[in-house]
């Protein structure tokens, strides 16, 4: 904007006092702005004696985007809101559901499900947590359709009704033997008396602007500095934790956008827990570091590649098989994941789902000669340099560092089999857009929690399924999945699902590569964490955070 | 005019006042060029910088001879530097030396391509503006406005929306570098346009292209030379910054990619060699380019010669 | 500079600049690929739900309608509601802006305090070894890749020596006067990093304009009058050399406010640059528009302040 002449002038040119004045004024202005946020000390906490006065500081890499648990989809959103808004059900390491707010659940008949809930939970403003809250939450989500996993589980849901203070019944559009557990696990319960003031739960920010938050979890959000910290205070009564009161007086989530800074902060003692799963290559390093404890958490999801069947080459089973045999799965698990992943036998029924897991389904072996034979039997001929006349575009998200690393290995091993793979790693939104439009030949990605096989198969392999990235439509597979969804007997359901998984495996409708076990680091000054599967729950699930305490030596 | 400023290739690509660059309005003749060289070669900093830059160019061109292309993985993960791996290995067991050598190619390519595009556009716009006075008003308003835009955030925005690739990086860096070039060149060109020999030329021919090509471009060439160096080194830092934020080309080795992968694997503090060597490479390139342009400017300045 | 542009009153120029920045941002967001509905959607969302989201955001309207609406609302002080957070844009941004201003301003002050004496020293030892050393130090600073030096500083001063905190802008358990101390300690490392990368520009600008000023007639005259060299250097030449430095401050202050993304990332500093990066990853158009508006305003205000300072320094500007 400026092009002031820099011609030198006369000796009379002088510096006026004004310059200093301007600087002082600017400094004063900034000081004033900041002083507006200088906090004053709170009154001393009046918690029970057995509960400590310590602050548990947890590091995360991103800000909270949404305080409304019905919308949020980022990790930090889930972690913070999970400490305030209970779920009906929790999950065990093998994917089985466990009681949380609900004590009992099941089906009254084919089209009616039910939950019995605890009668000793209260919101932090004194209101009891009732079946009304539960039913209202479900109906509001069905009506307003907030973007989020909760709404995604409600396809077969018609309505919910509080038949007593502690019992909720839900009506289904068609028989669905998974929905009660899926809604119970994925859905939060929000306070009706707070959320009903909003026009729609899909746009309600719940940012505490109306007198703060209301919590039925172990902690209550009290103070937010965007980009830096989220401070939460203990609630006095939380019946789900041993002793009935959370131990740490405060929980502070701190934002460290760079994982390296996050690790430095843990080592220096500035934070006590890192909520994000450790990068695989850092696990051994941190295990060997004094003062840091690393906890293992079982994975309940998988990483996979799908082959877009609208591509005429990939529509051929042999081509998909050729690709599946041209991946060095062992190398990916030992090098990229540092041995922290288990093979699923190339089946969507992971070993962690012990009831469903079928040992007889074996992983595709890495055998480039076999791949070449398969390509030849599909009618392709290699040129002089051994390359087949095909080229596939593989997409992945650059935000997903593990996938970004193994994508390169997939490309290199496919090249050995004479199949060209072109990598296209993009920023997450572009990746989502491409995924949504089917704009790829091969899709690489992963899911954090695939707890229920029937729901998972319905979404992944039925035509029109939201995550049917293979774009598969196999009548035999469709029939099996439909049958499993209405089968109440669990042995029979398992047997049907195993048949379905075998089709998926043999036809390579999905190439499941591994289940990653996750590692989380915390300061050795703290103990008593309770691990739950997946990065969403890990050691920062409500029970774990409420139970953590300083070690006796402190 | 002295050594100053073109040189403010600040890492974030700060637009910096550059009026000071406007050199004496004299076309650099062959004789002046020789004189510049005589002064230049007495400046040890300039000679060392020139040597370093040439070395980097040689490394880039001879990459295939110096190291094999980094394999997709190796079994020795995160090894510190040793005789076997001079620069150590990364979290996938790849040789960091090979990555740095091959990264030189990509980093220099981005630097050179971005600066050539920026210089071509910037010079053209500046010279046209200087020659056709009516356009000048419009052009300088655009340049001023563009210079007032927050460059790095806009680069992030565009790179994220378009999708990361080498072409994106080059395009984005060039798109925000040309106004600075225009500004530098324009002030120089304006002084030339009003000189008697250009007026004389206008009387002799009606072809603006001829006058611009014959008189104006040669007169602004020294400014362009400095701009190339500055824009190129700025491009390296911008590209590394974008790569570090995950907006670089993920499939081609560049110095930024090595740093990005070190960051993603959380190894920046524990595996210092992953950060140190690509950072040194960036430092060497930007430092030597900047010092070179300072030395060149000093040598070109008649006042310095007289000294 | 162009006459048309220069004759516009300062305020008019400022408004024009802001309008330009805002419009460029608006168009880039709408014309480049990227679908915000996808950024907030979960994978198992239907096509209809996605369309409903776009309608909710008003993104199904023609471009010109969106633009007109945006401008109209902005003039009324309504900067829109965040796509992803459903709260007014300025609620999000105004929490971050003071930290960016504090960081930038502090960095600028220490840069000037260090850079000007170094520049003077270099100029007075022109061509000597000390001059070369100072130049190399300055240029080295601006050739450093910020995250690398950031992690190094954190490792040394935060982890090994434990002198300074690792990240953030203040301790959440500090109150009253302690809080100010905590703000200051958190500020040191990011401000020093920013100083290192800017220092070169100031040193070199100061050095070269000073060298030039020392060659001017009036200095020669002063010498002839028997004034001691040191006095000429500090009193007369330096005054004139401060002018381009002031211009530099104006340009850089505005720029730095948005340019500290990498510094803010590494030091976990809650500034607006990082906010922009996060809004980009969420394709939160209103937040991005608001952020670029704030940056443009900062640039304009910084330039106006520079103009004022410049006026104090150079009386010729006032009279013209």
Q: Any chain A CB within 8 A of the CB of C45? A: yes
Verify whether the Cβ–Cβ distance B275 to C276 is below 8 Å.
no
pLDDT at C40: 63
State yes or no: pLDDT of A289 exceeds 80.
yes
The whole-model pTM stands at 0.86
Confidence of residue A262 (pLDDT cuts 50, 70, 90): very high
Task: Give the 3-state secondary structure of residue C161.
Answer: coil
Half-sphere exposure of residue A377, counting CA atoms within 13 Å on the CB side?
A: 12
Say yes or no: C26 contacts chain A, CB-CB below 8 A. Answer: no
Averaged pLDDT for residues C23-34? 85
H/E stretch holding A103 reads: strand A102-109
Of C38, C98, C270, which is closest to A228 when you measure between CB atoms? C270
Q: Which of A6, A259, A260, A411 best tests the B interface by mutation, with the highest count of B CBs <10 A?
A: A260
Q: Pick the residue with more confidence: C63 or A221? A: A221
User: In whole angstroms, how large is the CA radius of gyration of chain A?
Assistant: 27
Q: Cα C18 to the chain's mean position, in Å? A: 15
**pLDDT > 70: percent of chain A:** 90
Least confident residue range of A30-34, A462-466, C99-103: A30-34
CB contact under 8 A, B92 and A430: no
User: Could you tell me the pLDDT band of residue A497, with boundaries at 50, 70 and 90?
Assistant: very high
Q: In the prediction, which pLDDT does A122 show?
A: 94
- List, for residues A49-79, the tens digit of each pLDDT value: 367 889 999 999 999 988 999 986 688 999 9
pLDDT above 60 (res C7): no
Of A413, A437, A414, A415, residue with least CA distance to A426: A437
Range name among A22-36, A265-279, A407-421 with the lowest pLDDT average:
A22-36
- Summarize the confidence of residues A176-192 as an average pLDDT: 93
**Percent of chain C, pLDDT > 70?**
86
> Residue A17 contacts by C-beta under 8 Å, 6 or more apart in sequence?
none
Q: pLDDT digits over C193-224, tens only?
A: 999 988 888 888 888 888 877 776 666 777 77
pLDDT tens across A294-332, in order? 999 998 999 999 999 999 999 999 999 999 999 999 999
List the single residue in A with minimal CA-CA distance to C221.
Answer: A11
Closest CA in chain C for residue A465: C44
- pLDDT tens, position by position, C245-266: 777 777 676 667 767 888 999 9
User: Which parts of chain B have pLDDT scores under 50?
Assistant: 1-28, 305-307
Smallest CA–CA distance from A333 into chain B, residue? B92
* b/e burial code for range A434-462 (CB count within 10 A of at least 16 → b): bbbeeebbbbbbbbbbbbbbbbbbbbbbb
Residues of chain C contacting residue A430, judged by C-beta atoms under 8 Å apart? 33-34
C79/chain B closest Cα distance in angstroms = 19
DSSP-derived letter for residue B137 is: H
Q: What is the pLDDT of residues A84-101, one digit of tens each?
A: 999 999 999 888 999 999
Beta carbons of A425 and B264 less than 8 Å apart:
no
* Chains with 3 or more CB pairs under 8 A to chain A: B, C
Range from B17-21, B44-48, C55-59, C227-231 carrying the lowest mean pLDDT: B17-21
Phi first, then psi: what are they for A472, rounded to 5°? -90, 145
**Contact with chain A for residue C59, Cβ under 8 A:** no
Are A507 and A496 spatial neighbours (Cβ–Cβ below 8 Å)? no
- CA atoms within 13 A of residue B118's CA, in its CB half-sphere: 36
Mean pLDDT of chain C: 82
- The CA distance from B33 to the nearest CA of chain A, in Å, is 28
Chain A CB contacts of C29 below 8 Å: none
The helix/strand/coil state of B100 is helix
Nearest CA in chain A to C305: A22
pLDDT at B30: 63
pLDDT tens-digit series, residues B47-65: 999 999 999 999 999 988 8
The partner residue sitting opposite C309, judged by closest CB among A22, A66, A256, is A22
Crossing angle for the helix pair B217-244 and B166-175, nearest 10 degrees? 130
Q: List chain C residues with CB under 8 Å of B290.
A: 139, 142-143, 200
CA dihedral defined by C250, C256, C259, C265, rounded to 10 degrees?
A: 180
Chains that touch B (3 or more CB pairs under 8 A): A, C
Who's near B56: CB < 8 A, 6+ residues apart? B104, B108, B281, B284, B285, B288
Q: Is A278 on the interface with B (CB under 8 A)?
A: yes
């Amino acid at each position: 904007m400026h092009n002031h002449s820099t011609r030198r002038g006369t000796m009379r040119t002088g510096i006026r006092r004004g310059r200093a004045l301007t600087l002082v004024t600017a400094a004063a202005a900034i000081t004033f702005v900041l002083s507006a946020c200088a906090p004053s000390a709170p009154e001393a906490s009046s918690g029970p004696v057995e509960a400590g006065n310590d602050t548990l500081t947890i590091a995360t890499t991103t800000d909270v985007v949404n305080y409304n648990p019905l919308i949020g989809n980022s990790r930090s959103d889930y972690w913070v809101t999970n400490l305030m808004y209970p779920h009906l059900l929790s999950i065990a390491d093998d994917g089985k559901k466990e009681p949380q707010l609900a004590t009992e659940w099941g089906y009254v008949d084919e089209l009616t499900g039910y939950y019995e809930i605890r009668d000793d939970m209260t919101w932090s403003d004194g209101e009891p947590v009732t079946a009304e809250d539960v039913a209202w939450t479900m109906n509001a989500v069905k009506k307003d359709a907030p973007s989020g996993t909760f709404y995604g589980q409600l396809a077969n849901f018609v309505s919910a009704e509080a038949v007593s203070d502690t019992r909720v019944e839900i009506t289904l559009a068609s028989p669905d033997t998974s929905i009660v557990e899926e809604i119970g696990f994925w859905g939060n319960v929000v306070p009706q008396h707070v959320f009903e003031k909003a026009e729609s739960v899909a746009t309600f920010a719940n940012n505490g602007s109306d007198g703060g938050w209301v919590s039925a979890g172990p902690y209550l959000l009290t103070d937010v500095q965007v980009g830096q910290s989220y401070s939460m205070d203990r609630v006095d009564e939380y019946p789900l934790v041993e002793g009935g009161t959370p131990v740490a007086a405060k929980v502070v989530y701190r934002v460290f956008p760079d994982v390296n800074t996050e690790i430095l902060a843990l080592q220096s003692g500035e934070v006590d827990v890192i909520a994000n799963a450790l990068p695989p290559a850092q696990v051994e390093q941190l295990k060997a570091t004094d003062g840091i404890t690393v906890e293992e958490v079982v994975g309940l999801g998988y990483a996979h590649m799908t082959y877009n069947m609208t591509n005429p080459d990939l529509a051929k089973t042999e081509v998909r098989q050729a690709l599946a045999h041209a991946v060095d799965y062992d190398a990916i698990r030992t090098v990229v994941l540092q041995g922290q992943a288990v093979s699923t036998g190339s089946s969507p029924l992971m070993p962690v789902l012990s009831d469903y897991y079928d040992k007889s389904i074996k992983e595709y072996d890495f055998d480039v000669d076999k791949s070449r034979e398969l390509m030849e039997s599909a009618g392709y001929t290699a040129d002089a340099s051994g390359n087949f006349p095909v080229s596939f575009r593989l997409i992945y998200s650059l935000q997903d560092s593990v996938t970004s690393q193994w994508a390169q290995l997939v490309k290199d091993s496919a090249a050995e089999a004479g199949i060209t793979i072109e990598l296209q790693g993009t920023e997450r939104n572009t990746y989502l857009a491409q995924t949504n439009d089917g704009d790829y030949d091969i899709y690489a990605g992963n899911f954090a929690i695939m707890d229920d096989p029937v729901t998972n198969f319905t979404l992944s392999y039925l035509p029109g399924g939201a995550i049917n990235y293979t774009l598969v439509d196999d009548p035999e597979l469709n029939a099996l999945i439909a049958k499993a969804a209405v089968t109440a007997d669990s042995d029979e359901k398992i047997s049907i699902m195993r048949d379905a998984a075998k089709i998926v495996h043999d036809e390579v409708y999905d190439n499941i590569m591994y289940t990653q076990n996750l590692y989380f680091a915390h300061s050795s000054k703290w103990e008593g964490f309770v691990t739950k599967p997946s990065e969403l729950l890990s050691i920062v699930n409500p029970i774990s955070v409420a139970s953590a305490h300083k070690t006796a030596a402190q | 005019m002295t050594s100053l400023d073109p040189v403010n290739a600040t890492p974030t690509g700060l637009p910096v006042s550059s009026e000071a660059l406007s050199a004496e309005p004299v076309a650099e003749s062959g004789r002046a060029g020789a004189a510049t060289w005589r002064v230049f070669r007495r400046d040890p900093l300039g000679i060392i910088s020139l040597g370093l830059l040439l070395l980097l160019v040689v490394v880039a061109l001879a990459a295939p001879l110096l190291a094999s292309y980094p394999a997709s993985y190796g079994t020795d993960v995160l090894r510190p530097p040793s005789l076997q791996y001079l620069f150590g290995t990364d979290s996938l067991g790849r040789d960091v030396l090979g990555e740095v050598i091959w990264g030189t190619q990509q980093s220099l390519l981005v630097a050179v391509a971005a600066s050539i595009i920026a210089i071509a556009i910037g010079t053209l716009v500046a010279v046209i503006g200087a020659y056709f006075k009516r356009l000048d008003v419009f052009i300088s308003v655009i340049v001023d406005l563009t210079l007032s835009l927050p460059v790095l955030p806009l680069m992030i925005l565009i790179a994220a929306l378009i999708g990361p690739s080498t072409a994106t990086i080059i395009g984005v860096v060039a798109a925000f570098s040309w106004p600075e070039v225009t500004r530098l060149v324009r002030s120089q060109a304006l002084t030339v346009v009003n000189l008697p020999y250009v007026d004389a030329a206008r009387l002799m021919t009606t072809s603006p292209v001829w006058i611009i090509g014959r008189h104006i471009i040669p007169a602004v060439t020294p400014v362009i030379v400095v701009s190339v160096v500055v824009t190129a080194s700025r491009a390296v830092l911008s590209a590394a910054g974008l790569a570090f934020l995950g907006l670089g080309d993920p499939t081609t080795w560049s110095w930024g990619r090595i740093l990005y992968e070190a960051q993603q694997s959380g190894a920046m503090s524990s595996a210092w060699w992953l950060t140190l060597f690509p950072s040194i490479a960036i430092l060497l390139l930007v430092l030597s380019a900047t010092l070179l342009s300072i030395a060149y400017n000093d040598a070109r300045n008649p006042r310095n010669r007289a000294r | 500079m162009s006459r048309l542009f220069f004759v516009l009153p300062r305020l008019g120029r400022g408004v024009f600049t802001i309008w330009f920045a805002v419009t460029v941002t608006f168009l880039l967001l709408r014309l480049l690929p990227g679908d915000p509905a996808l950024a907030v959607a979960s994978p198992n969302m239907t096509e209809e739900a996605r369309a409903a989201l776009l309608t909710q955001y008003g993104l199904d309207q023609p471009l010109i309608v969106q633009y007109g609406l945006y401008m109209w609302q902005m003039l009324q002080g309504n900067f829109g509601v965040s796509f992803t957070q459903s709260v007014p844009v300025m609620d999000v941004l105004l929490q971050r802006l003071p930290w960016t201003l504090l960081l930038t301003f502090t960095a600028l002050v220490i840069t000037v305090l260090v850079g000007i004496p170094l520049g003077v020293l270099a100029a007075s030892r022109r061509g000597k070894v000390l001059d070369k050393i100072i130049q190399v130090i300055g240029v080295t600073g601006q050739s450093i890749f910020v995250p690398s030096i950031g992690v190094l500083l954190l490792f040394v001063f935060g982890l090994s020596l434990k002198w300074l905190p690792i990240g953030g802008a203040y301790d959440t358990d500090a109150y009253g006067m302690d809080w100010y101390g905590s703000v200051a300690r958190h500020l040191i490392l990011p401000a020093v990093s920013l100083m290192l990368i800017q220092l070169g520009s100031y040193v070199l600008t100061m050095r070269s304009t000073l060298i030039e000023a020392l060659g001017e007639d009036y200095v020669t005259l002063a010498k002839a009058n028997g004034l001691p060299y040191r006095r000429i250097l500090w009193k007369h030449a330096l005054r004139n050399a401060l002018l381009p430095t002031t211009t530099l401050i104006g340009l850089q202050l505005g720029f730095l406010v948005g340019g500290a993304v990498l510094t803010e990332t590494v030091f976990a500093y809650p500034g607006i640059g990082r906010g922009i990066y996060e809004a980009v990853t969420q394709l939160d158009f209103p937040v991005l528009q608001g952020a670029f508006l704030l940056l443009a305003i900062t640039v304009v205000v910084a330039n106006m302040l520079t103009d004022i300072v410049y006026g104090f320094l150079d009386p010729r500007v006032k009279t013209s």
